[in-house]
Structure 1
Amino acid sequence: MTLASMPQSDGARRGPAEGLPPLAVDVDGTLVRGDLLAESALAYLRGNPLRIVFLVMWLVQGRAILKRRLAERVDLDVDGLPLNEELLALIETEHARGRQIHLATASDAMVAGKLARRFRFIDGVIASDGATNLKGEAKARALAGRFPGGFAYAGDHRVDLPVWRAASETVIVEAKPGVRKAAEAIRPPLAVLPRPKLGARTVLKAARVHQWAKNALVFVPLVLGGKALDPVAWSEALIGFVLLGVLASGTYVLNDLWDLEDDRKHWSKKNRAFASGRLPIVAGLVAAPLAIVAALVGGALMSGEVFASLAAYLVVTLAYSFRLKRLAVVDVFTLAGLFTLRLVIGVALVEVPPSPWLLVFSMFIFASLSFAKRHTEMARVAQAGAAKASGRGYVAADVPFLIAMGTATGMSAVLVMVLYIFNEAFPAGMYKTPAALWAFPSVLFLWLGRIWVLSGRDELHDDPVAFAVRDKASIALGAVMALAFVAAVAPHGLLW
């Protein structure tokens, strides 16, 4: 057996302190909150998703070969990887006491060596070498041969049990209850780092269930199409709302996995569940396809039109996540198109004629909000003294352009609303009191003005839509628009 070993600077020249055996630390799920193989595979696929064929070929040849091929082709950003800070503090304490610290990982030596250089206290690295997958029994034998006088081992998984048996001291890091019990049965542990609770809040935030509020657009064609009092139409729209939410959650997870490195460099996105390591990458890779397939099957059972509109939403979303979000202006146009597709899905669900006015208005209003989102991001990039946002097609100098485009598209939405009232609402006789609709462009002007004033003051945060559902002034303006619509459609005298 050949083992990859890399001594580190001054620490590598120290002998083990008397009475303190070396501490070998696992990496995946232990020191690093994540899996380096999954991280490397995702980074490799970002260059070209068709590379999955090579991943399968290498995996068939063995995991050690797969890890080595990826290590040769992927320059993994190890400095951005989320760490277990509690374990890191323990390691630094043991190092200060004179104990040698070694990384002992099934990850490839090329990646593990690069990770080791991130820390000043690593004395050596024992890792997979392209021939041997250093895991379980193989790791136990390697460490026992390397440290015949005994060693301490910090791990987290059931596969680490053979290593703990071979070790002289045990450190249990956030292991599942069954694994912790089995490890404690071997010997009393030197230290136990408890497993953090994975709350429903973390899962729901990863699925971005709060973003389902945007899918309420599927109900708009129902109301405007004259089916507001049809219970069957409401039930179909509600089912479609859930299906779209599940589909969107699946694509959000894929997007977050695809953007791991960029999110870790972002001031707020670094706290997302996958970027921070609170949720494992593998869980996302399993959950996202299941959610997408479930939504598409549900749409197909409803109708061909619903399935086609959901499939179109999926294709555009994936195109945005994988490529279009990095193209200036194209990204905003695509986001506006995705909002408009929600209206198209609503049309398909309740089978009402599509309104060109509504679709054009949607493109303008959501383009304005998307520009506001980009403006907020780039303004913070400029404040940080950077020239460009990671993963975006804009530079700090684009801030004035984003303001101009955002306000222009916003005022265009107001104009479309005015033209609709002139040319459609009054002549068609669709409303009992069409004059009440004049509140719409007025309120819309005030609300968009508020959005852009706050964006210019850096008080908008990241998402204008998410901001609006929590902002009291926005909620009040929305209530005024709702009352105006009721006044427009209600029979004369009904409200009095």
Structure 2
Amino acid sequence: MLGQTVSTRKEEAGKDKSIIILYLEEMRWRQWTKNVLVFAAFIFSINKVEISMLFNSIFGFICFCLVSSCVYILNDYLDRESDKLHPKKKNRPIASGQINPQQAIFVAVLILLGAISFSFYIDALFGFVIVSYLALNIAYSLKLKHIVILDIMTIASGFVLRAIGGALVIKVVLTPWFLICIMLLALFLAVNKRRHELLLLEEGGLQHRKVLINYSLPLIDQMNNIVTSSTIVSYALFTFTSGRTIHLMWTIPFVLYGIFRYLFLIYMKNEGGAPDKILFKDKPLLAAVVLYAFVTLIILYAFE
């Protein structure tokens, strides 16, 4: 009875929201933090930064935010029936019926056309990265998310494209080791998201996400061990072989702590379903990320 009362209150609160708020929720603006990766190239070029590079990075960030939001709308449109079976996703505007599905697709197309046009205006190669990112995510929504292993690898590829796009808009080159680190870190987050879904949804999860039938906790934990170890080793190699100052090695402890803290939250607190929420909710993890960025900027600015 109490659960039904809380659910009813949430539905009534949702009906009182304006259409703008509903669309912002549908576009999942809180997950725009994932696109902060666009600024990675800017941060590692801080010693030769120009004001135009900052503006281009911001414009690139906006493009990725808009395109990713359109992908979220498409994904929610396609999954609107299965999302109704999910304990949390059933409250999304499309799944809950607060937004008309066809209207949402129309709005997404308009936003998408504007974002793609703007991306090509910024830089032609960046525009192709945006289109590639869109195509990859459409393929994920339609097919790849149902294929075991390829589903998490597709998610990781999206993060790599963000980093590449961020480098293109400011005309710098990212080292292969850095891209490998990003891919492995993204795999780390994707694998643990699947683990969280297995724990949260159990049998009901097979109705919501069919690919879960091909995963098990022992398999996920084995993949987690491999990706975690590879991420740490790859980042350590990046600090020594990237051609930048060797003093980047002093950032390794922050990376170690961040990964260990995330594993603690996953295995001891049963979290991991929403990395963007965990980052801002867990103060030790957020502090590690902020300190990592700060120390990296100081090292690059002082020793290069």
After superposition, the C-alpha distances for 1:383-437 in whole angstroms (9 at most, x for unaligned) are xx5573523312286112112212321221110011122323xxx3x33xx33x2
Q: What corresponds to 2:249 in structure 1?
A: 438
Q: What corresponds to 1:302 in structure 2?
A: 122
1:369, 1:406 within 8 Å by CA — same for their partners in 2? no
After superposition, the C-alpha distances for 1:141-196 in whole angstroms (9 at most, x for unaligned) are xxxxxxxxxxxxxxxxxxxxxxxxxxxxxxxxx9xxxxxxxxxxxxxxxxxxxx73
1:372, 1:455 within 8 Å by CA — same for their partners in 2? yes
Distance 1:223 1:405 in 2: 30
- The structure that is strand-richer by fraction is 1
Question: Structure 2 residue aligned with 1:467, among 246, 256, 278?
Answer: 278
Larger Rg, first or second structure (1 or 2): 1
The percentage of counterpart residues that share the same residue type is 23
Q: What corresponds to 1:352 in structure 2?
A: 172
SS in 1 for 2:99: coil
Distance 1:460 1:387 in 2: 16
- How far the C-alpha of 1:321 sits from its partner, in A, is 0.8
Go from structure 1 to structure 2 and tell me whether the alpha carbon gap of 1:348 and 1:381 turns closer, same or farther (over 3 Å shift): same
Query: Which amino acid in the other structure matches residue 290 of structure 1?
Result: L
Distance 2:137 2:205 in 1: 27
1:246, 1:291 within 8 Å by CA — same for their partners in 2? yes
Q: What corresponds to 1:477 in structure 2?
A: 288
- How far the C-alpha of 1:351 sits from its partner, in A, is 1.1
Q: How does 1:207-356 map to 2 (within 5 A)?
A: 207-226=27-46, 229-356=49-176
Q: What corresponds to 1:153 in structure 2?
A: none
CA RMSD of aligned residues (A): 2.3
Q: Which runs of no fewer than 5 residues in structure 2 stay unpaired?
A: 1-7
Question: Structure 1 residue aligned with 2:229, among 408, 411, 422?
Answer: 411
After superposition, the C-alpha distances for 1:240-298 in whole angstroms (9 at most, x for unaligned) are 11111111111110111011111111111111111011111122121111111111111
Go from structure 1 to structure 2 and tell me whether the alpha carbon gap of 1:387 and 1:334 turns closer, same or farther (over 3 Å shift): closer
State the number of aligned residues: 292
SS in 1 for 2:273: coil
TM-score, normalising length: structure 1: 0.55
Q: What corresponds to 1:190 in structure 2?
A: none
TM-score, normalising length: structure 2: 0.88
**Does 463-472 or 338-347 show the bigger shift?**
463-472
Query: Which amino acid in the other structure matches residue 411 of structure 1?
Result: S
Q: What corresponds to 1:373 in structure 2?
A: 193
Q: What corresponds to 1:422 in structure 2?
A: 240
- How far the C-alpha of 1:458 sits from its partner, in A, is 4.9
Q: What corresponds to 1:29 in structure 2?
A: none
Distance 2:47 2:295 in 1: 18
Question: Structure 2 residue aligned with 1:452, among 248, 251, 263?
Answer: 263
Distance 1:334 1:364 in 2: 12
Distance 1:489 1:452 in 2: 29
Q: How does 1:107-186 map to 2 (within 5 A)?
A: none
Distance 2:230 2:47 in 1: 29
Distance 2:275 2:123 in 1: 33
